[in-house]
Chains A and B, each alone.
Chain A
Amino acid sequence: MKPLSVIVTSVCDIFAWFMIVFGVYVINNGHNTPGGGFQGGAIVATFLSFMLVAYGGKRFWAWLREGVYGFLEFLGLVAFFIFGCLGFPNSFFYNSIAVPQGGEALSEWLPLCGTISLMNVAVGFEVVGALSLVIIYMYGSIRMVDTGAGMGGERGHDRFDR
């Protein structure tokens, strides 16, 4: 995939990082505002496709660290399962560390709603990893096929100079 024009790359330089910040905001405030792990994770994963479209394949593969996304996927799923196990004296996925309204917070760093926000973060990690890996695998499997002259292929459409 060829890199797009300097206008697109400049816009990517300026705005792509704000997409990550906005996605993290949506994940972090999932218990207060609309959104949550799935939606915010999808917003963060858009960053990778934005980079790919703006900068093209060569810069994409040079910049990419694929193991990070696999690790995010692993971390999100395991953390989600562990947070589910936290409520085990009562039942699986029981929210045992939630504080009823008007109560005292357990810790300064733990929100009142308990595992709801922790699971939001875990699912956010998982969705970021999964959707980014989908983009990486599907783009990485594109290969050039020489259809020969006059075979009726759409010229200029199927060309990826990788």
Chain B
Amino acid sequence: MKKTIFIAAVILLGGLLCDMFEEMHPLGVPLNTAMDDYILAHALSDRSAQNVVTAMVFDFRGFDTLGEAAVLFTALSSIAALFRDGGKRE
């Protein structure tokens, strides 16, 4: 009984997955390119940054990078809280 339900669920989920792949639009063809075009056009001309990825990370999405730095700091804080008093150092 369990096996039948399992096989039926696998077939159902597989069918849904295949259906989803049919509906997907092809990779590399975004539906709305307004923001991509703006960033590619303005990263070099306005900001003089040859590396568009860095211009993206530190300029257009600088607030995200502040979040990333905060994530790193939080990870460091939790590791310090877990490990700092353990063991003994010479």
Contacts and interface: CB of A to CB of B under 8 A. Distances in A.
Contacts of A84: 62-63, 66
B47 A114 contact: yes
Given A98-B46, A141-B87, A143-B88, A36 B57 contact: yes
Given A80-B66, A93-B63, A133-B76, A100 B48 contact: yes
Interface in B31-90: 44-51, 53-55, 57-59, 62-63, 65-66, 68-69, 72-73, 75-76, 79-80, 82-90
A101 B44 contact: yes
A162 B59 CA distance: 47
Interface residues of B, number: 35
Nearest to A98: B47
A116 B56 CA distance: 9
A49 interface: no
A58 interface: yes
Q: Is the interface of B mostly helix, strand, loop or mixed?
A: helix
Nearest to B86: A141
A119 B58 CA distance: 7
Given A77-B73, A80-B66, A141-B84, A101 B54 contact: no
A130 B75 contact: yes
A73 B47 contact: no
Contact of B80 (A80, A115, A137): A137
Contacts of A133: 76, 79-80
A101 B48 contact: yes
Nearest to A162: B90
Contacts of A142: 86-87
Interface in A92-136: 92-93, 95, 98-101, 103, 111-116, 119-120, 123, 126-127, 130, 133-134
Given A31-B55, A126-B72, A130-B76, A95 B65 contact: no
A44 to B, nearest CB: 14
